[in-house]
Amino acid sequence: MADLRTAGPAGATDQGVAADAGGTRDGRFARVLITTGAAILTVVVVAAVFAPLLSSWGETVIDPASTLAAPGGGHLLGTDGNGMDIWSRVLYAARLDLGIAVAAVALAVVAGTLLGLVAGYRGGWLDDVLMRVVDIFQAFPTFILALAVAALLGNGTLNLVLTIAAVNAPAYARLVRAEVRTLRELPFVDAAVTSGASTAGILWRHLLPNSLTPVRVIAPLNCGWAMLTLAGLSFLGLGVSIPAAEWGAMISLGAADVVGGRWWTSVPPGLALLVCVLGFSLLGEGLQERADAKRR
């Protein structure tokens, strides 16, 4: 009868004692993930900011004497088919890649959170309409949708930000709406209503701060995905166009040369992309882990 399974919940009634049992180990793991991710991203940001100091050639400077030069010599990582220095371009590209990805995710978070807050709190037909629109957006694979939107808006940095924000915002809307739907049933929302708080006040001061926890966890992961989307679009020619330095576009440009054995045209930008996405992933996972450890 009181076998192990049924005896287990006895611990649950014993407040506090078991609460932080596993917490310390998970907490340490989370800290390692967060630190590693943050360190990688710091390196990338430093590279982007100090690109002119770290490279000897400019972003779009052509060295006509050497096209497709192998690494070594005057060019640390060699040159591409146009005679541009790969090392310099990989560094400069971090500016565009990081900038567009972060800006797009920031925009997606703001727009999605606002929609989610209103839909979740108001409910009713507004919620139904907004959520069906979100359904439509989410019915397409993200990248296909991004392709369509990018084709519609056309090239340009701002349009890329808008495109990537548009395909990511629905996820935040849904996430925040779900949080708000749970939160608005809790007594503190009733307390705010009976204290005469306005709807905007309830949304802004009570529901928003309490519904952002999952957003904080998802957003860094999302930056990594946004970067991949951007690189993918550029690779297909719908994103940043040559001569501006962007990792996806660089991979695309060098793809033909790789077949000919000139690996240095595509591998360095590919590695840069990989490291950057890894940084965001570790950070996101770490935040997730820490949120879980706290909840336990």
Partner 1 sequence: MLSIENLSVVIRRPGRQVAALNDITFAVRPGEVVGLVGESGGGKSMVARAIVGLLPDGSHATGRVVFDDADVLGMDEVALAAHRGRGVAICFQNPRGALSPTRTVGRQLVDRLVTHQNMPVDRAREAARELFEAVGIRSPQRRLDAYPHELSGGMAQRVMISLATGCAPGLLIADEPTTGLDVTLTREILRQFRHAADTDGRGVLLISHDLASIAEVCDRVVVLYAGTVVESGPAAQVLREPAHPYTRALLRSVPDVGGRPVVATAGAMPLLTRAPQNCPFVARCGHADDTCAARRPTTEPLAGGPDGWSLACFHPQAGPIGAEPEPVRAIPAADPAVGPQAKSTVLEIDDAHVVYRSRFGSGGHHALRGVSLRVAAGETLGVVGESGCGKSTLAKLVMGLVSPTSGAVTVAGHSLVRQPGRAHLRGRALRQARTRAQLVFQDPIGSLSPRRTVADSIAEPLRAAGLSAAERAARVAAVLDRMELDRSILQRYPHELSGGQAQRVGIARALVGEPDLIVFDEPTSALDVTVQAQILTVISEVTADKDRAAVFISHDLATVRGFADRVVVLYLGRIVEEGPVDVVFDHPRHPYTMALLASAPRLGGGTGAGGDAVELVKDLEEADATTGCPLAARCPFVTDTCRTQQQHLQPYGASRAACWRAPELAALTGKQATTP
Q: Interface with partner 1 by CB under 8 A: which residues? A: 1-4, 6-18, 20-21, 24, 186-188, 190-198, 201, 205-206, 209-210
Nearer to partner 1, 24 or 56 (CB): 24
Prior bond of 243 cis (ω within 30°): yes
Residue 193's CB: how many other CB atoms inside 10 A?
A: 14
Give the residue with the Cβ less far from partner 1, 205 or 296: 205
Q: Which is nearer to partner 1, 20 or 135 (CB)?
A: 20
Complex with partner 1: residue 139 or 194, whichever CB lies closer: 194
Residues 211 and 202 sit within 8 Å (Cβ to Cβ): no
Give min distance, CB of 118 to partner 1, in A.
18
Query: Using CA of residue 242, residue 243, residue 248, residue 250, what is the dihedral sign?
Result: positive
Shortest Cβ 67–partner 1 spacing (Å): 58
The tokens for 295 are 């909840």
DSSP 68: S
Ramachandran category for residue 75: left, alpha or beta (phi over 0 → left; psi -120 to 50 → alpha): beta
The whole-angstrom separation of Cα 130 and Cα 133 is 5
Q: How far is the CB of 10 from partner 1 (least distance, A)?
A: 6
CB of 174: closest distance to partner 1 in angstroms? Answer: 20
Shortest spacing between CB 11 and partner 1, in angstroms: 7
Instruction: Give the residue with the Cβ less far from partner 1, 3 or 53.
Output: 3
